[in-house]
Chain A
Amino acid sequence: MKSLRRTIILIIFLLVSVASMATGVFAWFIDYGNGASVDPFGGTVIGNEDVLEIDAETEGIFLGDRVRDLVYLNDSEFDIPSFNFYGYASVLELVITNPSLNTINVNLQLNVVAAPEFGVYAGSQAGIKYLVLETNDSMTQPTYMAERFAYFQSTGNVYSAMSAHNFGGFSLAGETSKRVYIYMWGAYDGLTTAQKDVYHALVYRVKVMV
């Protein structure tokens, strides 16, 4: 009788554990889109349980929009202390609103998707670096960026530190909005030899993921 009880408990435990594991890992991996389709610029994003409203402050008349002033830096420049990163950054400005009552963590990612139609002019993820900075109450954006880069450089690996910063996201209290800036730089050393030949004409098909 005792043995049967043990067996039943073990079976239930294993069932629950395996089911949870499978479900969790499945949920982890699903739904990372990689198509080159065009989505509306601005709109609503469903997070865990909350709905984020995004205002990209564009004309809103067309699908898609563009950044036209991407400038490239090389690896060594990303390591120069006090380098004027702000001066070379292209910027995308967003206002994100959390209409729910709950404080949530907002994580913005910038993904370069495959766009074979661009042929040799297709940019890739390695050719672009980005930094997500929310409005800072005590610092201007250039100062905030300089402060962040000083930290990134102090870690010894700027790119990893930038990625970690972006991945960490920021907190957004319920029923509040925040202005967010996505700064972008071309990463010349991330280009292939063929891309370097036409770096000035590369086009990055970018999806901003929230």
Chain B
Amino acid sequence: MKNIKKIILLILAFSVALSTIVGVYAWFTLQPATEALDLNVRSTELFSSSARVSLGTENLDFNHPLYNQTEYAIEMTKSQIQSNTSGSILPVVVNVLITPFKTINVRFKLVEVWTVNNIVITRPNVFTWNYAISNQTDHAGYYTHDQVLTKNITPSDIDFIDNATVNTSVLNGLPSGAVLKLSLVVSATQANRSDNWNLTTSNHVVKQFNVASQISNQQLNVIFDGVSNPQYTRGVYVEFKSTSNNYSFIWHTRTALSNRLTLPAGTYDVRINLVNHLDFTVTRNGNVIEITVSYGNINSWGFEDVLYAPSMIPVWQPNVTYSTDDMVYYDDASGDGENAGYYRARSGSTGAVPDTTAWAWQVISVYFSDTRVYLEGEIIYYNGKFYRAKSNVWAGNPPPLAWAWELLGHEHETGKVYSPNDIAFTEANDVKTWYVVYGSFTAHSGVIEKHYAMKYMSIDYNEHNQGKYGLGEYVRHQGYFYRVTVANNWSTPSVGAYGYLRVGLEFVSKAYPVNAVVLHNGQYYIAVNAISSGQTPGSNSNWRLINHRGDYAGSTTYNRYDSIIYNGKRYFWNMASSTTGTNPETTAGWWSLDQQWDYKNTYVQDSIVSFNDDLYILRSGTSTNQTPGVSGQWQPLSLKWSPTAMYYNSGSERSIVEHNGKHYVWYGAHDATFTPIPGTGRNGWNEMTDVWVSTNSYVQGDFVIYDGSFWELLQPQNPTDQSNVPGIDFTVWKEHPILWDPNRN
């Protein structure tokens, strides 16, 4: 028996020791990780690209007279094609340069759009394109490069078109006003899914569009519905193909489109140059053919990316003459690349170095440049902040400059344009001070106090807020709390000051309701009748002295208004009958004189209590057994959010609270109580931050920071579904990227 006990003890000790070893091991070796980095991961891009096109001995780059800088297309009239055709060959050579971000396959399509007087005509069979490799073209005219491109930072130079054989009789038969626009579409797919691009059964999405009788002069519009990638707006190539006709259209958002479609009766196969995960519909609304693009069903997965008109912007050359609106890439070799980037010509020039000649060139970048002229509405990035040009700004005028720049976001700065319900902050030593705005004005000073229609948000009284406090608000000044009794008064809180009433235990000359308890000359009094202003405790029977009888004794009989000390707290008996041997902490009738809230007390308006280390004041009426912050009309005397508090949203009365370490502003109904928990939904509380918050409510024109970019809300309000997140639907939030991409912007 003794041995069994020993064994049991031994097993027990062993088990405990084992648990201890595991626990201590875990403690020392499996220490929880610390969050370090935070990022979004998504599928958007597979490659970058540019195109090199020549016509005979001439390079047709972005700045060439034959390049249409709006359409991103090479534009040639009938006569220009004729004059450049030698024999029956048009010596057009097209090479595509691809920088693969992943291991990919690529395919290209040369887009032909023919028009006469801005009316699209059916594509005449003028050209037979001679591809670098024959038999690599699918039924939709996409040329698939036969090699896999391995992830590389160096571009691959791919031969695409060697030249075109011209059917001169067809060409000569065209109207004299015929114009050709040639552009390029480049697609890529992850190479391990290139089976989707089988040349005989390729995965292009095709829709039917029936035209019962000829429709003339039709506009075409492309509508994106819930699509994340804004690069598609750079250009959508739409093809209407029937058994006898083939009409092509280039849609983009850079300018209003002048081309129109006239489609004879027939059934058309409609294709667009987008990717396999996009579907579309074709409808007609009045004289507009609408193509609505949305995410479609996935028949065979494999990520695809597409670029319309890869960049043809040339490298700047000192001996080339440039015209207004030409674009170049300047490498700034002499400056170690510091000012390298894309530049747009402000005027014609030859030899004007882009980064030093502001009259000739302006850099295309959201980064502010001293050499650049900015147009009204443009957004720049300068010293870690985003600004919007308030008017046209000549070179050499960096922010802050009130007439020129408006700082975006909530930080106050000279030049900011405010309107009611805005919020603003100043920051010093990493501490933000918040203000609410209740007027429309432009900030004329960086000193926020110089602007009247802004209110400093704090429980502490602030001189800047004179004339702005609303009726019923509470402020703290020199250690005392005050209730505002006259809205928008210009007084400084003090006893007897116009518009303020000092609240708290200490007696001041004012009206008191029945059961109000005050401290006067070291003695507690209770109002046994309603007290009008001017009645000092002790001066009449309306105030009843609370008679202190020392430490509580269980054998002593206590009468009404007798007070005692029990467990370090002071109580008084407040029932008509006397009491003996009752526990002051738990027996109804014992009222606490301590500031700590006591469920047995009946509190009256302006009573201040402490609960869970927070101070509360009773706004009105009386309160018995209503826990502060849970029920009743308890208002916290701090910025801490409380369900029982009343919150304001009218003029200069705007409530700001602190909850879980974040600050929120109330935009719900004025005088609201039992408000929802801040940060838990779109519920009337907006977190005060420049960073996008899913539960915040935004209005058109609001700017937020999110996901490494700056975003502007395009819609009247942010939606409630997933498109509320910047980057989900580009028609909801517009991105203002830091870097300008010549292929995707």
A123 to chain B, nearest CB (A): 7
Which A residues touch B9, using CB under 8 A? 10
Q: How far is the CA of A96 from the CA of B724 in the complex (A)?
A: 35
Tell whether B288 is near chain A: CB-to-CB under 8 Å. Answer: no
Q: How far is the CA of A48 from the CA of B688 in the complex (A)?
A: 34
* A-contacting residues, B258-307, CB 8 Å: 277, 295, 297-298, 301, 303
Contact with B along A16-27 (1 / 0, CB 8 A): 111011111101
* A-contacting residues, B24-79, CB 8 Å: 24-28, 30-46
Q: How far is the CA of A196 from the CA of B299 in the complex (A)?
A: 10
Q: Interface size for chain A: under 10, 10 to 19, 20 to 34, or 35 or more residues? A: 35 or more
B725 in complex: contacting residue of A28, A118, A210, CB < 8 Å: A118
- In the complex, the answer to whether A203 meets B34 with C-beta atoms within 8 Å is no
Chain A residue with the shortest CB-CB distance to B100: A87
Q: How far is the CA of A56 from the CA of B37 in the complex (A)?
A: 8
Chain B residue with the shortest CB-CB distance to A68: B44
- In the complex, the answer to whether B727 meets A203 with C-beta atoms within 8 Å is yes
Contact with B along A32-47 (1 / 0, CB 8 A): 1100111111110111
Chain A residue with the shortest CB-CB distance to B47: A69
Contact with B along A42-83 (1 / 0, CB 8 A): 110111100000101011011111111111110001000000
- In the complex, the answer to whether A200 meets B277 with C-beta atoms within 8 Å is yes
Given contacts A64-B708, A66-B707, contact A109 B34 (CB under 8 A): no
B35 in complex: contacting residue of A118, A184, A203, A209, CB < 8 Å: A209
- In the complex, the answer to whether A21 meets B37 with C-beta atoms within 8 Å is no
Given contacts A21-B16, A70-B42, contact A41 B37 (CB under 8 A): yes
Chain A residue with the shortest CB-CB distance to B192: A77
Q: How far is the CA of A86 from the CA of B103 in the complex (A)?
A: 9
Tell whether B705 is near chain A: CB-to-CB under 8 Å. Answer: yes
Tell whether B338 is near chain A: CB-to-CB under 8 Å. Answer: no
Tell whether B552 is near chain A: CB-to-CB under 8 Å. Answer: no
Contact with A along B706-734 (1 / 0, CB 8 A): 11111000000000011011011000000
- In the complex, the answer to whether A69 meets B101 with C-beta atoms within 8 Å is yes
- In the complex, the answer to whether A67 meets B41 with C-beta atoms within 8 Å is yes
- In the complex, the answer to whether B102 meets A69 with C-beta atoms within 8 Å is yes
Tell whether B623 is near chain A: CB-to-CB under 8 Å. Answer: no
Main SS at interface, chain B: mixed
- In the complex, the answer to whether A63 meets B38 with C-beta atoms within 8 Å is yes
Q: How far is the CA of A106 from the CA of B219 in the complex (A)?
A: 61
- In the complex, the answer to whether A199 meets B708 with C-beta atoms within 8 Å is no
- In the complex, the answer to whether A202 meets B43 with C-beta atoms within 8 Å is yes
- In the complex, the answer to whether B26 meets A24 with C-beta atoms within 8 Å is yes
- In the complex, the answer to whether A66 meets B37 with C-beta atoms within 8 Å is no
Chain A residue with the shortest CB-CB distance to B149: A87
Which B residues touch A41, using CB under 8 A? 37-39
A176 to chain B, nearest CB (A): 18
- In the complex, the answer to whether B102 meets A88 with C-beta atoms within 8 Å is yes
Tell whether A98 is near chain B: CB-to-CB under 8 Å. Answer: no
- In the complex, the answer to whether B151 meets A86 with C-beta atoms within 8 Å is yes
- In the complex, the answer to whether A27 meets B40 with C-beta atoms within 8 Å is no
- In the complex, the answer to whether B27 meets A87 with C-beta atoms within 8 Å is no
- In the complex, the answer to whether A205 meets B40 with C-beta atoms within 8 Å is yes
Tell whether B191 is near chain A: CB-to-CB under 8 Å. Answer: yes
B274 to chain A, nearest CB (A): 12
Given contacts A28-B27, A69-B101, A121-B722, contact A128 B709 (CB under 8 A): no
- In the complex, the answer to whether B277 meets A62 with C-beta atoms within 8 Å is no
- In the complex, the answer to whether A69 meets B46 with C-beta atoms within 8 Å is yes
Given contacts A64-B708, A90-B41, A203-B41, contact A24 B25 (CB under 8 A): yes
- In the complex, the answer to whether B102 meets A47 with C-beta atoms within 8 Å is no
Given contacts A39-B35, A69-B102, A84-B150, contact A64 B40 (CB under 8 A): yes
Which A residues touch B44, using CB under 8 A? 68-69
B719 to chain A, nearest CB (A): 11
B14 to chain A, nearest CB (A): 11
Tell whether A197 is near chain B: CB-to-CB under 8 Å. Answer: yes
Which A residues touch B37, using CB under 8 A? 39, 41-42, 54, 56, 65, 92, 94, 207-208
- In the complex, the answer to whether A17 meets B40 with C-beta atoms within 8 Å is no
- In the complex, the answer to whether B691 meets A118 with C-beta atoms within 8 Å is no
Tell whether A120 is near chain B: CB-to-CB under 8 Å. Answer: yes
Tell whether A31 is near chain B: CB-to-CB under 8 Å. Answer: yes
Given contacts A17-B19, A77-B192, A210-B33, contact A24 B24 (CB under 8 A): yes
Tell whether B190 is near chain A: CB-to-CB under 8 Å. Answer: yes
Which A residues touch B35, using CB under 8 A? 33, 39, 207-209
Which B residues touch A72, using CB under 8 A? 43, 190, 301, 303
Q: How far is the CA of A73 from the CA of B192 in the complex (A)?
A: 8
- In the complex, the answer to whether A87 meets B298 with C-beta atoms within 8 Å is no
Tell whether A30 is near chain B: CB-to-CB under 8 Å. Answer: yes
Which A residues touch B22, using CB under 8 A? 21, 24-25
Which A residues touch B33, using CB under 8 A? 32, 107, 109, 209-210
- In the complex, the answer to whether B708 meets A88 with C-beta atoms within 8 Å is no
Tell whether B530 is near chain A: CB-to-CB under 8 Å. Answer: no
Which B residues touch A90, using CB under 8 A? 41
Which A residues touch B303, using CB under 8 A? 71-72, 199-200
Which B residues touch A117, using CB under 8 A? 694, 722, 724-725
* A-contacting residues, B195-235, CB 8 Å: 228
B34 in complex: contacting residue of A28, A47, A128, CB < 8 Å: A47
Tell whether A188 is near chain B: CB-to-CB under 8 Å. Answer: yes
- In the complex, the answer to whether A64 meets B103 with C-beta atoms within 8 Å is no
A39 in complex: contacting residue of B16, B38, B725, CB < 8 Å: B38
A69 in complex: contacting residue of B16, B20, B45, B708, CB < 8 Å: B45
Which B residues touch A42, using CB under 8 A? 37
Tell whether B669 is near chain A: CB-to-CB under 8 Å. Answer: no
Tell whether B13 is near chain A: CB-to-CB under 8 Å. Answer: yes
Tell whether A12 is near chain B: CB-to-CB under 8 Å. Answer: no
Tell whether B335 is near chain A: CB-to-CB under 8 Å. Answer: no
Q: How far is the CA of A107 from the CA of B31 in the complex (A)?
A: 10
Tell whether B384 is near chain A: CB-to-CB under 8 Å. Answer: yes
B43 in complex: contacting residue of A14, A18, A70, A94, CB < 8 Å: A70
Tell whether A201 is near chain B: CB-to-CB under 8 Å. Answer: yes
A13 in complex: contacting residue of B13, B27, B39, CB < 8 Å: B13
Given contacts A67-B41, A121-B722, contact A38 B691 (CB under 8 A): yes
Which B residues touch A23, using CB under 8 A? 23, 27
* B-contacting residues, A98-126, CB 8 Å: 107, 109, 117-123
Q: How far is the CA of A73 from the CA of B708 in the complex (A)?
A: 26
Given contacts A68-B45, A69-B43, contact A28 B23 (CB under 8 A): yes
Tell whether B17 is near chain A: CB-to-CB under 8 Å. Answer: yes
- In the complex, the answer to whether B42 meets A68 with C-beta atoms within 8 Å is yes
B551 to chain A, nearest CB (A): 39
Given contacts A69-B101, A201-B295, contact A118 B38 (CB under 8 A): no
Give me 19 A-to-B residue pairs in the complex whose CB atoms sit less than 8 angstroms apart, sorted by A's number: A16-B20, A17-B16, A27-B27, A29-B32, A32-B33, A39-B38, A59-B738, A64-B39, A69-B101, A71-B43, A77-B192, A84-B103, A86-B151, A87-B151, A118-B725, A201-B42, A206-B38, A207-B38, A210-B36
* Residues of A participating in the B interface, judged by any CB pair closer than 8 Å: 10, 13-14, 16-18, 20-25, 27-33, 36-43, 45-48, 54, 56, 58-59, 61-73, 77, 84, 86-88, 90, 92, 94, 107, 109, 117-123, 128, 184, 186, 188, 196-210
* Residues of B participating in the A interface, judged by any CB pair closer than 8 Å: 9, 13, 16-17, 19-20, 22-28, 30-46, 101-103, 150-151, 190-192, 228, 277, 295, 297-298, 301, 303, 381, 384, 691, 694, 705-710, 721-722, 724-725, 727-728, 738
- If A64-B40, A66-B39, A88-B151 are given as contacts, then 19 extra A-B residue pairs at C-beta distance below 8 Å, sorted by A number, are A17-B16, A28-B23, A41-B37, A45-B36, A63-B38, A64-B707, A65-B707, A66-B707, A77-B192, A92-B37, A107-B33, A184-B41, A197-B295, A199-B301, A203-B42, A203-B727, A203-B728, A206-B39, A206-B41
